[in-house]
Amino acid sequence: MNERNAPSRGLAGLFGRGRGRASGGNADDGSAMLKGRHIIEPGNLSLPELDGLFDLAESIVKDPARYSEVCRGKILATLFFEPSTRTRLSFEAAMLRLGGSTLGFAEPGASSTAKGESLADTIRTVSSYVDVIAMRNPKEGAAHLASQYSSVPVINAGDGGHHHPTQTLTDLLTIRSIKGRFDGLTVGLCGDLKFGRTVHSLAKAMSRYPNVRFVLISPPELEIPDYIIAKVFKPSGVQYTQVRRLEEAIGDLDILYMTRVQKERFFNEQDYVRLKDSYILDAEKMRLARPDLCVLHPLPRVNEIAPEVDADPRAAYFAQVRYGMFARMALIMKLLGIVEGGGKKG
């Protein structure tokens, strides 16, 4: 059986029942130096650190009970200055499933930001109460600023159109779990490649692996920013092509990463309305795709994937949601210097 026909590893493992205790091997592999670090963009993690993180996440997927107390006594703050369902709740679920606790706010109106408090003072305050902070903020660079005032690790949960590193960890863990590798994959990025921060982060992260090819599928107005081409694709030598029609490209792809047109980043409602339905993945287009295509979407979706695709075994976006929680569990453990069994590494 060649790799293309190999059964998907990921979905069964993810949704199946735990298979008893993991082998006892230590999932930590020398990436314990993550303790105390801030995670502002995907490039903050080296490839060995990513491998160690994904090994730990996969170990948690296999035997979550083994990790259910490792963060007892630790507190995560989720500071969300912008709306979120998956990122905030998966961070909170991650900490709770590790035995820790959470506090925070889901919108800035519920904090003293509404009274004019600066981000620096908010972070100084919160970091004196908790062990780790996950923050989303509409301003690009806000997470970096927060890290300069925090006495505990800050995890960027999205800063404007800039970065969303834990979405990238989610995407990479999903790809690794389903495809078993990163190298040699042809990745289609489809939709709003201009404003979609998850696209920028994933493009950067996947460009670090050998022989990855990108197919950039967007209308001219939503093309990937020039700096990604100039500073990411060209220096890494990664191959890329730009096309306008999804039908042209879908048959060549290992991964199709669909994205929502980012209404909140448009200055002009008319442009949004004109572009919002540029691409709609439906059953007809899926018939043109390979049998082992993996369809991802960071979610939320609006119209860009028809609900009829959800039942297709190649649709992995709800599995991806669940991998996000496991990726964040592994990241929290690493940043707190916690190894399995509740021990600690310095």
Shortest distance, position 253 Cβ to ligand CP, whole Å: 21
Nearer to ligand CP, 59 or 84 (CB): 84
Region of 16-24, 27-35, 79-87, 284-292 interacting with ligand CP (CB under 6 A) = 79-87
With beta carbons less than 8 A apart as the criterion, state whether 241 and 233 touch: no
Longest Cα pair distance anywhere in the chain, in angstroms?
A: 63
Of 299, 305, 309, 336, the residue at the interface with ligand CP (CB under 6 A) is: 299
> How many other C-beta atoms can be found within 10 angstroms of the C-beta atom of residue 15?
11
Give start and end residues of each alpha helix (H) in the chain: 10-15, 47-62, 86-97, 119-126, 142-149, 165-179, 197-206, 226-228, 234-236, 246-249, 269-275, 283-286, 317-335
339: left (phi over 0), alpha (psi -120 to 50) or beta: beta
Region 5-64 residues binding ligand CP, contact defined as CB under 6 A: none
Region of 121-129, 208-216, 249-257, 293-301 interacting with ligand CP (CB under 6 A) = 293-301
Shortest distance, position 341 Cβ to ligand CP, whole Å: 31
Instruction: Using alpha carbons, select from 278, 151, 306 the residue that is nearest to residue 222.
Output: 278
320 binds ligand CP (CB under 6 A): no
Of 59, 78, 87, 259, the residue at the interface with ligand CP (CB under 6 A) is: 87
264 binds ligand CP (CB under 6 A): no
Nearer to ligand CP, 41 or 55 (CB): 41
CA-to-CA separations, 67 to 130, 207, 218, 306, in angstroms, rounded: 20, 32, 42, 37
Shortest distance, position 202 Cβ to ligand CP, whole Å: 12
**Rounded distance between C-alpha atoms, residue 325 and residue 185, angstroms:** 24
Amino acid found at 273: V
Of 31, 78, 167, 262, the residue at the interface with ligand CP (CB under 6 A) is: 167
Nearer to ligand CP, 127 or 167 (CB): 167
Nearer to ligand CP, 166 or 186 (CB): 166
Strand, coil or helix: 138: coil
191 binds ligand CP (CB under 6 A): no
**Rounded distance between C-alpha atoms, residue 252 and residue 246, angstroms:** 11
85 binds ligand CP (CB under 6 A): yes
List the x/- string, 100-129, binding to ligand CP by CB under 6 A. Answer: ------------------------------
300 binds ligand CP (CB under 6 A): yes
Q: Provide the CA 281 distance to its chain's centre, in angstroms.
A: 21
Positions that interact with ligand CP (CB under 6 A):
84-87, 167, 298-300
